[in-house]
Amino acid sequence: MMVQNDTQLAQPATLASIPTMPSNASKVVEPVYATIYEVPKVAVAPSPAPQAVQSTSKTIAVMKPVTTKPVIAEVNTPAQSSTPLRSVASAKPSNDGLLLASNSTQPTVTQEANESSMQVQHVELTHRQMADKAIERANKALESNDFEGASAEFQTALRYVPEDENTRRKLAALYYGNNQVRKSAELLEEGIRINKNSTALRMSLAGILLKEEQPEAALSSLGYLPDDVTDKYLAMRAALAQKLKNNEWALQSYQMLSQRDPENGRWWLGLGIQQERSAQLKEAKESYTKALTMVGLSSQSQAFIRDRINVLKSLDQGAD
């Protein structure tokens, strides 16, 4: 590396003594010794490695007016960073006329502006969804025989969706199975107040009361005829009313059943019994006769029907 200052030439790696030259200002020109440190190579990955730069120390004698101490240019190597860097050693003249080495550090990879970002979205669950999660936890608790945990989760589900009849019936059965009869009945009655047309809740309540030997209370829960009354509901209502000799409800129920399912002999048999109790003897004999023509009746029931028909015939003859 050579540096030319005016008419003087300084060659690298040599130290030259320059004699004093006459000057109009009669100033003494002293030789100045400058030690130049070139920056060693900085390894860079994954960018291609630049030409290896050996660390050398060179002493250069230059002419500089009124300088009494050598000028030392030092270059500090920056600390290693996570961003790949490329070091470029270059020579540039300083303000004092010395050839100094400069270290230019530049990132080789530009960070992309469109960095991936995480978005947090608030999702609000509906009452139905929260109830379903509670039911799921309740079922898991039941698998572990955790009665208290299952009861608490079913109650949570009913707080979110009080009209959920399946969950209400499950919780009522859970209470009854653990000898909490009163809580079971009250839970079902609460559901009936919410939906008076619920045949499922009324039948569940009647079933519990029958097991507790309270048939009158059971029939009371079946007294109302819902809009979408089912055959199963009517059959339970009819049989219980007939047993308790509530002829009005029994007759009403069997009439509806025989109209809905005229091929069922049981409904005609029940209707005949209720008509006979209500002194509708002619209608009773007709209902008994239809029952005999239907399949599905036991031999005992068929014998009962024939006996009642004979009795009604004798009554007709006596009346004549």
pLDDT digits (tens, 9 = 90+) for 151-177: 999 999 999 999 999 999 999 999 999
Q: Confidence band (pLDDT; 50, 70, 90) for 315?
A: confident
Residue 57, domain member (yes or no): yes
Q: What is the CATH number of the domain that holds 292?
A: 1.25.40.10
Answer yes or no: is 132 within a domain: no
Please check whether residue 66 is in contact with residue 20, taking contact to mean a CB–CB distance below 8 angstroms: no
Domain that holds residue 243: 230-320
The total domain count for the chain is 2
- Is 70 exceeded by the pLDDT of residue 29? no
The predicted structure's pLDDT at residue 316: 79
Instruction: Give tens-digit pLDDT for 241-253.
Output: 999 999 999 999 9
- Check if the beta carbon of residue 154 is closer than 8 Å to that of residue 167: yes
Percent of the chain with pLDDT over 70: 61
Q: How much is the mean pLDDT over the chain? A: 76
Residue 5 has pLDDT above 90, yes or no: no
Q: Assess if residue 181 is contained within a domain.
A: no
SS3 track for the chain: CCEEECCEEECCCCCCCCCCCCCCCCCCCCEEEEEEECCCCCCCCCCCCCCCCCCCEEEEEEECCCCCCCCEECCCCCCCCCCCEEEEEEEEECCCCCEEEEEEEEECCCCCCCCCCCCCCCCCCCHHHHHHHHHHHHHHHHHCCCHHHHHHHHHHHHHHCCCCHHHHHHHHHHHHHCCCHHHHHHHHHHHHHHCCCCHHHHHHHHHHHHHCCCHHHHHHHCCCCCCCCCHHHHHHHHHHHHHCCCHHHHHHHHHHHHHHCCCCHHHHHHHHHHHHHCCCHHHHHHHHHHHHCCCCCCHHHHHHHHHHHHHHHHHHHHHC
Is there a domain that residue 144 lies in?
A: no
Q: Is residue 162 one of the residues assigned to a domain?
A: no
- Give residue 138's pLDDT: 96
Asked if residue 158 belongs to a domain, the reply is: no
* Res. 231: pLDDT tops 90: yes
Report d(CA 127, CA 290) in Å as an integer. 53
67 has a pLDDT exceeding 80: no
Indicate whether 193 pLDDT > 80.
yes
Residue 267 lies inside a defined structural domain of this protein: yes
Q: What is the mean pLDDT of residues 182-189?
A: 97
Q: How confident is the model at residue 124 (pLDDT cuts 50, 70, 90)?
A: confident
Q: Is the pLDDT of residue 46 over 90?
A: no
The pLDDT, as a whole number, for residue 41 is 52
41 within domain boundaries = yes
pLDDT of res. 318: 67
Residue 296 pLDDT class (50, 70, 90 cuts): confident
